[in-house]
Amino acid sequence: MHFRLHRCDGQARRGELTTAHGTVQTPVFMPVGTRASVKGILPSQLEEIGFEIILGNTYHLFLRPGCEVIGEAGGLHRFMGWRRSILTDSGGFQIFSLEALRTINDEYVEFQSHIDGTRFRFTPELAIDVQERLGSSIMMALDVCPKLPATTDELRLAMDRTSRWAARCLAARTSANLLFGIVQGGTDPQLRRQHAATLTSMDFDGFAIGGLSVGEPVAAMYETTAVVAPLLPAEKPRYLMGVGTPADLLHSIAAGIDMFDCVMPTRNARNGSLFTRDGVVVLKQARYRSDHRPLDEECSCYGCRHVTRAYLRHLYTCGEPLSVVLNTLHNLQFYADLIAGARQAIVDARYARYMDEMLTRMGSSADRSPGETP
């Protein structure tokens, strides 16, 4: 068994996922390394924080440097110097986001490179072939992520294509790498139930909930997650793609989700927006100019142990490269600590209390979407 469920506290789950590259404790947050690099941080620093898995992106790596180059290097792990697990997104979200540069039919998606305009055809079979050449620990089936809001007919078309492509991905797999299917259906509970039933009848190693955190109201995302998660097999990992804020993680763990990824901690770090247990600190604000307190007294990252808010603000306003490093270290440490606390709370059968306490401490800043500031 590649997934063992150790403990449940309500719907919240504490488990252990085993891949070809190690063991991952769940719930887990995966830092995003789209182009074989988590921005602003060394692989060794990710390991020191405690991350056991990161995310890469098939679409971007297919374009640059190309799976041939990565294959010649011995796979993505050797290419980027990361020894632990890697999950690769199949490119479905890029198909969604490059709407003006692509066309889709039942057989393939044809897209124009955002880099140089070159046209490519991506099939489910090619998505698996590329991920196998990358040596991904966990591969994702190619899916169609519909833009929201969408009509019922548009959602059904995306679901049907995703289902057909899922079967083709399974048939194309030649490696022992884990492969996850992706449930679509927008925020329509009935469509989500239908698609979950279709996907879970297939022999995937895990299941993801896709098509959320794409502009729908936060309440709708939580409601949809709560509907879909219990429909997915209890003995397999559940992954909520592209999510999210600290509040998103806490609410979704309570709904039974095991895995998350999001650019928010690293992107916000570059923008000078830092998470603390008592709310978000936005470094450009003048009130931090002479604030000589640690950023977060309970955090163990280098910045919180050695420098002050005033220094972090100075680096950020001057555009010093060290600002990105220290801010990224902190935000990723915060996310790692938040999830580690959730895992322990589930073991201790006190997850609901832990979630309430953290949401209260963080306040309204806990549920800001990426890029938003107070």
* pLDDT tier for residue 370 given thresholds of 50, 70 and 90: very low
* pLDDT tier for residue 366 given thresholds of 50, 70 and 90: low
Q: How much is the pLDDT for 367?
A: 61
For residue 157, pLDDT beyond 70 = yes
Q: Are residues 56 and 132 in the same domain?
A: yes
Instruction: Check if the beta carbon of residue 361 is closer than 8 Å to that of residue 46.
Output: no
Q: How much is the pLDDT for 98?
A: 76
* pLDDT tier for residue 374 given thresholds of 50, 70 and 90: very low
- 3-state SS string for 48-60: HHCCCEEEEEHHH
- The overall average pLDDT reported for the chain is 95
Task: Decide if 372 is inside a domain.
Answer: no
CATH of the domain at 152: 3.20.20.105
**In this structure, are strands 53-57 and 85-89 parallel, antiparallel, or unpaired?**
parallel
Number of domains present in the structure of the chain: 2
Q: Are residues 48 and 187 in the same domain?
A: yes
Task: Decide if 108 is inside a domain.
Answer: no
Q: Are residues 190 and 308 in the same domain?
A: no
Active site residue 89: yes
Q: Are residues 185 and 53 in the same domain?
A: yes
Structure tokens at 86: 């890697």
For residue 347, pLDDT beyond 80 = yes
Q: Are residues 200 and 273 in the same domain?
A: no
Q: How much is the pLDDT for 368?
A: 54
b/e sequence 248-260, b meaning 16+ C-beta within 10 Å: bbbbbbbbbbbbb
Q: Are residues 204 and 296 in the same domain?
A: no
Q: Are residues 145 and 228 in the same domain?
A: yes
Task: Decide if 110 is inside a domain.
Answer: no
Residue 73, amino acid:
A
Q: Are residues 291 and 163 in the same domain?
A: no
Which stretch of 104-118, 203-217, 218-232 has the lowest confidence by average pLDDT? 104-118
Chain centroid to Cα 339, Å, comes to 13
Q: Are residues 230 and 284 in the same domain?
A: no
Q: Taking residues 94-112, what's their average pLDDT?
A: 83
Report d(CA 240, CA 206) in Å as an integer: 11
State yes or no: cis peptide before 27, omega within 30 of 0: yes
Q: How much is the pLDDT for 147?
A: 86
Instruction: Check if the beta carbon of residue 91 is closer than 8 Å to that of residue 122.
Output: yes
Task: Decide if 134 is inside a domain.
Answer: yes
Report d(CA 353, CA 350) in Å as an integer: 5
Report d(CA 276, CA 153) in Å as an integer: 43
Q: Are residues 165 and 297 in the same domain?
A: no
Q: How much is the pLDDT for 102?
A: 83
Task: Decide if 138 is inside a domain.
Answer: yes
- What is this structure's pTM? 0.96
Catalytic residue among 89, 248, 296, 337: 89
Task: Decide if 107 is inside a domain.
Answer: no
Q: How much is the pLDDT for 80?
A: 97
Q: Are residues 182 and 73 in the same domain?
A: yes
Q: Are residues 313 and 256 in the same domain?
A: no
Catalytic residue among 248, 261, 296, 337: 261
What are the DSSP calls for 174-208, one per residue? Answer: -SSSEEEEEE--TT-HHHHHHHHHHHHTS--SEEE
Q: How much is the pLDDT for 101?
A: 79
Q: How much is the pLDDT for 320?
A: 98
Task: Decide if 160 is inside a domain.
Answer: yes
Length of the chain, please? Answer: 374
Q: Taking residues 237-253, what's their average pLDDT?
A: 97
For residue 114, pLDDT beyond 90 = no
Domain span holding position 350: 269-367
Instruction: Check if the beta carbon of residue 312 is closer than 8 Å to that of residue 295.
Output: yes
* pLDDT tier for residue 213 given thresholds of 50, 70 and 90: very high
Task: Decide if 241 is inside a domain.
Answer: no
